[in-house]
Amino acid sequence: MLVGAEPFAHEGSDDIGVLLCHGFTSTPQSMRGWAEHLAEAGHTVRCPLLPGHGTRWQELNRTTWRDWYGAVEQALDELRDRCRSVFVFGLSMGGTLTLRLAEQHPDIAGIVLVNPSVMTLRKEAKLLPLLSRVVPSMAAIAGDIAKPEVVELAYSRLPLRGMASLQQLWGVVRADLGSVRQPLLLLRSAVDHVVEPENSAIVLSEVGSQEVTEVVLDDSYHVATLDHDAPRIFSDSLEFVQRVHSARVGESA
């Protein structure tokens, strides 16, 4: 395992649990500041290292989206057994996994998405299923950060078989977006060189959630959790979980 790629876990209160899902080719390092902020507020937190990540990029080509989903679902089950209200947060592909969890587990209290991905406009994506069989990797997509000297711990190559599996996950998630009914906070960067703004537009227009809030991050690129707007993400999401939890507890009292 790469140094700094370790999963994050904190045992806090039994009231609120938060699961954080990192992005494709990345590691929990991109979510650690967010996780620590939630832990300092007293909440129980999990941020697993997804299979195929945090080692060598070749390992990611040996996994599929079902492996990544299985890891976050297992962490979700741990939190559901312990906490009254469980929330799921995700960055990029982590947002895709978060949406799938919300589709499959309606008891999730709420979700927070940062630059989630459900599609791409890149023309070469149509060739990905075929190309991934003959070309192992391409140039990396990691490290899209506006803040100087901040580095995302992620692979230096983009594994194409893994990317082809992510593309399959997009289709699965998009087909069921209407079944997402949890309160939703979506934060997207005004300038993102990895995930096009159409992704957030699709999510916002197709989910079935009655409570939907969109926040535009004007001073960050794709990996916003490590960028200038990270404090805004941390504070807005903390307020979100505490407010939604209070409303749920009041309703069930």
Amino acid identity for residue 39 in this structure: A
Neighbours of 184 (CB within 10 A): 24
In the set 144, 192, 227, 229, the catalytic residue is 192
Burial 132-151 (b: 16+ CB within 10 A, else e): beeeebeebbbbbbbeeeee
C-alpha dist (Å) from residue 21 to 69, 113, 123, 185, 231: 10, 10, 27, 15, 18
Q: Which of 37, 43, 53, 222 is catalytic?
A: 222
**Which one, of 38, 70, 34, 37, lies nearest residue 52 by Cα?**
70
Nearest one of 147, 154, 169, 171 to 228, comparing CA atoms:
147
Alpha helices (H) in the chain, listed in sequence order = 32-40, 57-60, 65-82, 93-104, 128-131, 160-175, 198-206, 230-252
Per-residue DSSP letter, 102: H
**How many Cα atoms are found within 13 Å in the side-chain-facing hemisphere of 119?**
13
Q: Which of 26, 30, 92, 189 is catalytic?
A: 92
Is residue 209 part of the annotated active site? The answer reads no
Is 92 an annotated catalytic residue? yes
Residues identified as active-site: 92, 192, 222
